[in-house]
Amino acid sequence: MLAHDIVATKPADVALSTRSKAELDIRNAVAIESAIDESKPDWVFNCAAFTRVDAAEADRETAFAINAFAVERMAAVCAKLGARRLHFSTDYVFDGANSGFYSADDIPHPLNVYGESKLAGELAIQRSGVRYLLIRPQWLFGVHGRSFVGLMCERACARQTTRVVADQLGCCTYTVDLARATWELIGRAEGIVHVANRGKVSRYALAARIFAHFGAQSFLSPCSVEEFGSTTRRPANSALSVRRAEQLLGREMPVWDDALHRYLSERDLVAR
């Protein structure tokens, strides 16, 4: 999902060499090293990850193999070959006990396996000695992948009765806005930067905007996390502060409902 928009928003003066999953399994350290050695890049971006949060609970080994150990080896190769690393992590490194907005200085404490594996990847990059920019986005949505927003669009279009939790808060992130911000941050920032669309929202409020767009409001109702009954723990409030990103970018991130509106228009165009 994100990789598609990273490619689509590439600045004209950047030469980008891409590898699909079929071309390169990031768990293959030898293949990673030869790909990096062949291109001699200034930066190595990694958008690949094990992103299925519920599936990670049942398959800790694969989640860590992709999100932590492969990331560790990639960082070591980059450090050896003198390339800088651009990596994406997640708000799920936090436990959600903070009632405000998380800054990059806040101490991570993941609640689920996905968050633990992503945090292990972050720490491996930091230990490796590579120069890096680590971007933490949250609640991604984009036209070219699976997301909560995409699922809500499908359910609203199909007039499916849907319950959504109202007591989980965060910021959502349109992959086009994240990709543009990423390209702007390259060369301007190092370390950890939080990037998301502006404004905190509940999962229910986000879904309500989507169901209203499709004229399907009566099919949506709120529930609590407890009533929903998922066995995977997720943070109650993992909203990310984008202040540092905005200072570095010299502009504000677009607000979430504007981003959602643009996503819905793009989705309509792609569907035609």
Ligand X SMILES: NC(=O)c1ccc[n+]([C@@H]2O[C@H](COP(=O)([O-])OP(=O)(O)OC[C@H]3O[C@@H](n4cnc5c(N)ncnc54)[C@H](OP(=O)(O)O)[C@@H]3O)[C@@H](O)[C@H]2O)c1
Does the footprint of ligand X cover residue 27 (CB under 6 A)?
yes
263 is catalytic: no
Which C-beta is closer to ligand X: that of 23 or that of 38?
A: 23
Per CB under 6 A, the list member of 47, 68, 86, 259 interacting with ligand X is 47
Shortest distance (Å) from residue 215 CB to ligand X = 26
Shortest distance (Å) from residue 162 CB to ligand X = 18
Catalytic site residue from 92, 102, 114, 204:
114
Residue type for position 90: T
Does the footprint of ligand X cover residue 238 (CB under 6 A)?
no
Residue 117 Cα distances to 52, 86, 93, 125, angstroms: 12, 17, 9, 13
Quote the tokens at residue 61: 């080994």
Per CB under 6 A, the list member of 36, 125, 140, 206 interacting with ligand X is 140
Does the footprint of ligand X cover residue 78 (CB under 6 A)?
no
Query: 149: Cβ–Cβ under 8 A, 6 or more apart, which residues?
Result: 139, 141, 172, 206, 210, 260, 263
Q: How far is CA 199 from the centre of its chain?
A: 16
Does the footprint of ligand X cover residue 7 (CB under 6 A)?
no
Query: 202: Cβ–Cβ under 8 A, 6 or more apart, which residues?
Result: 165, 166, 167, 168, 169
Does the footprint of ligand X cover residue 26 (CB under 6 A)?
yes
Give the residues lining the site for ligand X (CB under 6 A): 1-2, 21, 25-27, 47-51, 66, 88, 90, 118, 137-140, 145, 147
